[in-house]
Structure 1
Amino acid sequence: MLKHLRSLSGHQNPVYALTGSAQAGIFFTGGNDKGVVEWSLSKMSFIKVLMPVKTSVYSLHQYNDLLFVGQRSGELSIFDLSKQAVTANFQAHEKPVFDIAVIPEKQEFLTAGEDGTVGVWSLTDLSLLYRIRVSADTVRAIALSPDHRQAAFGCKDGNIRIYQLTDYSLLHILEQHTLPVTSVQYSPDGKYLISGGRDAQLNFWSTPDYQLQHTIPAHLFSVYGIAFHPTLPYFATVSQDKSIKLWGSDDLKLYKILSIEKNTHGHTHSINKLIWSEDGKYLITTGDDKLVMVWEWDL
């Protein structure tokens, strides 16, 4: 179902952030080194260092021609891909920026920080509209429901907080993980939310009532990423345990494990991020071993 296609080198240190582009065949990575890197998926190669950074990149998010870059310093940079230039750079949080999400219908974007807040920003003039105190500690991950009416925030205190995006009111606090929540993702049909944590568990929450439906001991260590295949009923997870796992999104069955410990190709250190290509032909993963790995969907 998935087979190793290529390992791409270029980073000198661990890679923490990964995002795809609306431009076919382009993606971006960032981590604990001096710049954001642009890659070609069609050529399977490094293109260039897109922009320098002062501190480690903890989050990347691409929306149309804008690339949002969240840094350990709490700074947020915006790189305009059409102009090939940084068009904004400002202090979004007092501490590191861990995740970024755009709400196109509202012309707003969200930033989640180690300071426990979520910033709500205008996409048109970049002004701060609200700052929500979501948690007493780090807000690690953001997931928007497919209809963009609700947002799930995964927090270091082990809770997931669900907010209504019309007025940013708190709807639910989901308490199940025993350790920090490190990843959250809604299913494409919006029928459930998946959360992954440092407790190595995957929890499945029904919507709109957010009742716990299933708990799966998915990995050996932290679940750092969850990504649904764009067209087929599968999702993939990546973990600090160095494995990639492919699951059925309808039956929640485990279909594939990619790990050097299972005698397949794999990362040698923690896997921090994953994305699917827009056509679903490729899965891209990256992590602490400084590598970008491309996996091909093999029917």
Structure 2
Amino acid sequence: MLQHLRSLSGHQNPIYALSNSNRNEIFLTGGNDKGIVEWSLEKLNFEKVLIPVKSSVYCMSSDGSLLLYGQRSGEVQLYDLQKNEIIISIQAHEKPVFDIIPVPEKNEFLTASEDGTVKVWSLTDFTLLYSIQVSAQTVRSIAVSPDRRHLAFGCKDHAIRIYDLHDYSLLHILQKHDRPVTSVQYSPDGKYLVSGGRDAQLHFWSRADYELKHSIPAHLYSIYAIAFHPTLPYFATASQDKSIKLWGSDDLKLYKILSIEKGTHGHTHSINKLIWSTDGRYLLSTGDDRLVIVWEWIP
């Protein structure tokens, strides 16, 4: 299971974004500080400020060669991790960008914003291809199904909207959360979609028909992150209630709670982001306490 390995300090303000890099031993963080920070998983320490930024970084995503990140200002930048240079800066939205994701098979990337739109951009010439008014309120989270057919958008108006990845047509509107939807993720086997919200509920939706199959009152407050292990049948959730929980992805059973209140190491404030290292050896968490915690997977 998961065991505390190291708590890393260095940020001076809350951290909102986490991403793996093009190297297994490196990960990246961003937040209210004026830079994206590079950390070493081998040395378990701060490496350097990789990229200076003008405003808070709310989201980051990498396809291995590129790092994409969105800021509170609405600006989006693409950074070449091999050449170590910014490729382009785009004023993608007038309001903050809350999620960003590459779709390499289509040579596109998507940005989701507080303005309620999702914009589709070319990864070839970085032009705007489509602007989709998904909601009248914030679009907080994006997930792509493993078969690369569907997109799920978690929205502030309590709904999840499912779109066709091929032509960006609206397929379903899922409405079971009582408060804003703050995180969405598809299971790696493609059998279901998991959503978490400010209502502290986890909902499990059948991928076949998007019917609600199961619900868990998983946390005390907002669920800000859902992260499936890359190879093993587990997923982790992180919350404003300062806890991380480990669940079985097959049986939906709760296996571990990582929380100071439960007598383990943990965060002292809201946990904003959660990812697994690419090899699945580590779980990385970060939040308003300005710490990055590295948890080691112990078989």
Please report the TM-score for the alignment, with normalisation by the length of structure 1: 0.99
Residue in structure 1 matched with residue 137 of structure 2 by the alignment: 137
Residue in structure 2 matched with residue 92 of structure 1 by the alignment: 92
* 1:232 matches 2:232: yes
SS of residue matched to 1:161: strand
Q: Which amino acid aligns with 1:173?
A: I
SS of residue matched to 1:294: strand
Could you report, residue by residue, the CA deviation over 1:133-184 in whole angstroms, capped at 9, with x for unpaired residues? Answer: 0000000000000011110000000000000011100000000000000000
1: CA distance between counterparts of 2:265 and 2:57? Answer: 26
Q: Which amino acid aligns with 1:22?
A: N
* 1:298 matches 2:285: no
Stretches (4+) displaced over 4 A: none
Q: What is the percentage of aligned positions where both structures have the same residue?
A: 73
Structure 1: which 5+ runs fail to align?
Answer: none
User: How far did 1:208 drift?
Assistant: 2.2
User: How far did 1:92 drift?
Assistant: 0.6
Residue in structure 2 matched with residue 216 of structure 1 by the alignment: 216
Residue in structure 1 matched with residue 2 of structure 2 by the alignment: 2
User: How far did 1:23 drift?
Assistant: 1.3
Please give the residue correspondences for 1:1-299 in structure 2 after superposition, counting only pairs within 5 Å: 1-299=1-299
Q: Which amino acid aligns with 1:25?
A: E
2: CA distance between counterparts of 1:110 and 1:208? Answer: 24
User: How far did 1:22 drift?
Assistant: 3.2
2: CA distance between counterparts of 1:31 and 1:22? Answer: 20
1: CA distance between counterparts of 2:146 and 2:216? Answer: 23
1: CA distance between counterparts of 2:165 and 2:298? Answer: 38
Q: Which amino acid aligns with 2:236?
A: A
SS of residue matched to 1:105: helix
Q: Which amino acid aligns with 1:12?
A: Q
SS of residue matched to 1:157: coil
Could you report, residue by residue, the CA deviation over 1:1-36 in whole angstroms, capped at 9, with x for unpaired residues? Answer: 111000011100000000112311111100011100
| 8 Å contact kept, 2:21–2:81 | no
2: CA distance between counterparts of 1:51 and 1:20? Answer: 15
User: How far did 1:55 drift?
Assistant: 0.7
Q: Which amino acid aligns with 1:127?
A: T
